[in-house]
Structure formats: structure tokens, C-alpha cells
Amino acid sequence: MFPSKAPFITAEIERRIRLGFYQEKLPANNKLRNEFLVARQTLTDALKPLFARGLLSCASPRDGVRIHPENLTRGIIAVVSGYNYTSDEKNLLLDIRQDGFTALKIRKTGSAPCPHWLPENSDGVMFINSSLDRETARFLKEKGIPFISCNLTPFLPGIPYIDYDNPALYDLLLTTLERKGYRRIAFFTNSRLEGYNARAAREIRRLKRRHALPVESYDRIVLPPGDSMQTALKKYIAACRAKDSFPEILISDPDVSRQFRQLCAAAGAGDPVRTFLYHRARSSSPQESENLYSFYSLEMGWRLWVQGYRLLREIIFGRDPKSVHVLVPRRIAFDREIAGKPL
């Protein structure tokens, strides 16, 4: 069953009023229904919250629907990030501010929950860069504060999220490398988001079985969230050594090739992985090294967050959060052609 379009229309009409597209009166109902391609009842349901907030009024059908911009709320949208804020976030924050909200930036440090940092008068909360945790999600649900995670959230059912379709990306990478002769392919997944590493490992094993590729011991390694890169790599290498099983090619985000080789040498494991493939930030330059390859996303990361903000506004206006589980296709490009498996 598809979710009602009413919350989307509510949020869009309210946004147009904020931006001054609609002034004094709304367009006629027939015009709005034709634009949004909805039935009369759906449009009626969409306008109800705006009448309830005093943003719209209608003395009579002949008079039309009048707009009262003085009743627009000047609330707060909190944006919680798991990393330091950079220029990547500026487009999201600008979009929020253009809509007349205060964009409250919150930097989450470490793995501690952050409900005490969040103002209870927030209109909504966005979580980017793997910053949502179980305790904070429960706190927001109890308080009835709308929120969305811009990362898939496997640790608690019913949490609204938007994320890239990583299983489709894994599938593409496996297909590409299989054609180059690789069979023992590993993914190094070190997310700080609870439950994400385990989910990714299950999905990779499923895809390998579908591709008739061997499922090795390293496909069952699940790193705990919150480990530093060095700690996570040490655990990964130790698990591979315990089963005397290293991959032919290791895929990671970001580039871990140098650290991996150094830690293997320090542990007396030699240089067991010949080829590395990593996901680089679009703004960075590829590393030029033999048997080191990279790919990058063609989409800008902040566009996903802006989509998340749009969905959050629909939740604010009544969309069921449980219906907001969105995976966005990710288009990638390789920096150079990957050579066939080394002999």
C-alpha cells in the first residue's frame, strides 16, 4: 500500500508560502488537484493541518483560501552529525534556513547518546554521518519529536531513514571484479552505526551465493561500532590470520591499503592482499599506486540529506514515519580500469 500524498502536499504548500510563491490566496482547488494529480479528498486532507495552524482561512468558497504568513512558525530543525561540520553540510543548512527555520548544528562526539543535547522544542531532528543511536531514537519517539536518519538504521524497527542503496553497489562491484577474474573478494566495513556492519556482512554473503562466489571466513567478520580505524584493521587482520584466509582484493571506504600492509607486516603476516579498491570522496584526488584502484560517487552527498529534510517535513505534517524507508540508487565511476587478477 502506498503512503498518502497528503503530507507531501501539505509540506510543499507550506514551503511555497514561506518562499513567497503563494501570496494572499492559494490557487483554486482544481488547479492544485491537477498539479499534484490527486483526488479532492486528498487535497482536503493536505490543507487541514494548515487551516489548524491558522496559516489558511476560508470565509466562503467564493472568497477563496486566504494565506496568513504571520502564522508561520519559526521553529528549530536540529542537524546532528557524527563528524565535524564541513562545506558538505552548508547546502542542507541553507535549505533549512531558506524555509524560515533555525538550523541548529549539533556535533556528536564519541558513542554517547545525545538526547540531553536536543532541545525539546525542536520541530524536527536530522541525523547525518551515522550519528543516530538507540537511546536517542527512543527518547525522540517518547517525546513525539519528528526525526529522520540519513543512514539505514537496522537496530530499531520503525525508524524513518533515507540512505544509498548499498546492496546494489555491492552487487555492481562483485559483478565488475568477477569479470576481471577475482573470486575471493572482501569488503572491509567499519561503520559506527549500531547493527550496520552485521547487516552489511549478511547482504554480502547473500550476494556472493547468488554470484556463485565462495563465502570465506572474512565474510563473517563483524566489527563492533565505534572502533578506530587502526583497532578495526587489527581485529580484521587477526581474524583472517586465525583462519589463514586473506582475500585477493579488499574493498574499503576510505583507502586502508597502507595501514593494512603496515599492520600485516608488524604482525608477521607479510603482504597477503595484493589488490585494493576503495571508495574515495569526490573532492579528493585518487592515490596512484600499483594494484590500488578507486571509485567515487557521481552524486553529491548533501543531495541525499536535502531529500531527507524534505521527508522530515512530510513527517512533521503527518506522514507515518514507518513508511519512510527510502534507498536511493548510487551511481559511481572508476578512476581507472581495474586490471585482471594478478598471477
- Flag whether pLDDT at 213 surpasses 60: yes
Confidence band of 110 (pLDDT split at 50, 70, 90) = low
Judged by phi (left if over 0) then psi (alpha if -120 to 50, else beta), residue 291 lies in: left
**Residue pLDDT, tens place only, 126-176:** 999 888 988 889 889 988 999 999 999 888 888 999 999 999 999 999 999
Phi, psi of 293 (to 5 degrees): -125, 160
pTM: 0.87
Confidence band of 320 (pLDDT split at 50, 70, 90) = very high
All domains of the chain in start order, with CATH: 6-70 (1.10.10.10), 76-164+301-328 (3.40.50.2300), 166-297 (3.40.50.2300)
pLDDT at 153: 87
- Helix/strand/coil percentages in the chain, nearest 5: 40, 15, 45
- Flag whether pLDDT at 54 surpasses 70: yes
Bridge partners (DSSP) listed for residue 300: none
Measured CA to CA, the distance from residue 122 to residue 74 in angstroms comes to 10
Q: b/e map of 252-262 (b: 16 or more CB within 10 Å)?
A: bbebbbebbbe
pLDDT at 319: 92
pLDDT at 18: 87
- Flag whether pLDDT at 179 surpasses 90: yes
- Flag whether pLDDT at 338 surpasses 90: yes
pLDDT at 113: 65
Average pLDDT across the chain, whole number: 90
pLDDT at 2: 57
DSSP H or E segment with residue 157:
none
